[in-house]
Amino acid sequence: AHQWLGLAMETILNLPIENKIFYAVLVFSWTVYLWEAYLAYRQRRIYRLTMHVPQELGKIMDTDTFEKSRLYQLDKSNFSFWSGLYSETEGTLILLFGGIPFVWKVAGTVTARFGLGPEYEIFQSLSFLILATLFSAFTGLPWSIYNTFVIEEKHGFNQQTLGFFLKDAVKKFIVTQCILLPVTSLLLYIIKIGGDFFFIYAWLFTLGVSLVLVTIYADYIAPLFDKFTPLPEGELKEEIESMSKSISFPLTKVYVVEGSKRSSHSNAYFYGFFKNKRIVLFDTLLEDYSPLNKDGEPEIDTLTEDKSKLKNKKQGCNNPEVLAVLGHELGHWKLGHTVKNIVISQMNSFLCFFLFAVLIGQKELFMAFGFYNSQPTLIGLMIIFQFIFSPYNEVLSFCLTVLSRRFEFQADSFARGMGRASELCSALIKLNKDNLGFPVADWLFSMWHYSHPPLLERLRALGSTKQD
């Protein structure tokens, strides 16, 4: 055995450098997959074996909700295992059978039909992108349909018809192409003409694009998919404006988004730069707006804050709880978390473009993935950012997850400092119930994956682990 191992090592060491790169990428990819599968297995054991509400949770979670959340998360975990295995196998087969150079060649054939030769690399790159995203969309569609119409439907979250879902998917694909193709063509052009310092210009360009997209997303892109309605005048809007003013948050508008048309999951967020901030509340977050609390079809702009309607609510938070959730979200702004995340993201982007500039001249990187006679810039971006940087990306992702949990605790503490600790505790418990979050987590799975701390940890930090 020792002799065989020595022979295998000698064979590996004698491989050409491009082969070493290729097999290193494959081995690392499967190592990450197996690590993720192991973590998921640990968490599935928690779902399977934790059959009863832990004593610590007895006063905040009933048995029925606990069992529903356990089964929901177990179904999601099983689905994630099979979809992840398919994705990893598909990616490996694409690499082994030269899928990337094959699609590049097909893209060249397409552009040649329009009289554009290999010298028109940017046009061939755009053709490649369209073909690759089409392939990804079609292979991912069955998994997305199963997730939406089997798992989410089974557990009461899906609100979409198949027609709505398919129309949504087509719309997303078209919008994505409208953004992706011009941005990519300009980026490739900048890299081509940028000279020795192209990485600086490429970074500045991507920074500008990201800022523009953040600015226009909620006003021009999101409304293509969901209905946004100004929050009507009333007690809730007045209290939101008062709270924003108390911490100098430059609020300009408050919207309710009709997220209930696709899912009963709930959320809230803010967006905008400088003195133009907007708050967006999902209708499923507000108990006065959630369709699950209505007998008929809700019409957002005709709903009122009638106190008599607060009886027998099934979903959402009351006004004090909504304000506590917003206190948490505004805490992220006041504590500079948004700016810190942007700075970290842009420092990472600059570093990646600099390393790309260092590596792009290495022909062995292209040869490793089947490009022996050409080194297209788009393929270089794909190889270096997706494959060569993958170990770095895994480490960075873990560090950002740890940082995100720290930011969440700080935002909770900010809301507590505003005197909203009990309301936030109540809101967290309700949201956990509405979204069927399972409150028990394996420590290693939680440490690696959870960008938000588990429910119990947040309640303890807020000074309350029980709800009357």
Catalytic residue annotation: 329, 412
Cβ neighbours around 125 below 10 Å, total: 23
Beta bridge partners of 229: 256
Beta bridge partners of 158: 263
Instruction: Assign 3-class secondary structure to 29-81.
Output: HHHHHHHHHHHHHHHHHHHHHCCCCCHHHCCCCCHHHHHHHHHHHHHHHHHHH
Beta bridge partners of 277: 251
Mode of pairing for the β-strands spanning 277-282 and 251-257: parallel
C-alpha distance from residue 359 to each of 15, 95, 114, 367 (Å): 21, 20, 33, 13
Residues in the chain: 468
Residue 2 assigned to a binding site: no
DSSP letter, residue 295: S
What span, in angstroms and rounded, lies between the C-alpha atoms of 15 and 25? 15
Lookup result for tokens 């500039």: 357
- The secondary structure of 139-181 as a DSSP string is HHHHHHHHIIIIIIHHTT-B---HHHHHHHHHHHHHHHHHHHH
Residue 265 assigned to a binding site: no
Alpha carbon 394 to its chain centroid, in Å, reads 15
Do residues 284 and 264 lie in contact, with contact meaning Cβ atoms separated by under 8 Å?
yes
What span, in angstroms and rounded, lies between the C-alpha atoms of 274 and 254? 16
Residue 328 assigned to a binding site: yes
- Give the closest residue to 383 by CA, choosing from 397, 401, 368: 368
Sequence ranges of the binding site for Zn(2+): 328, 332, 408
Sequence ranges of the binding site: 328, 332, 408
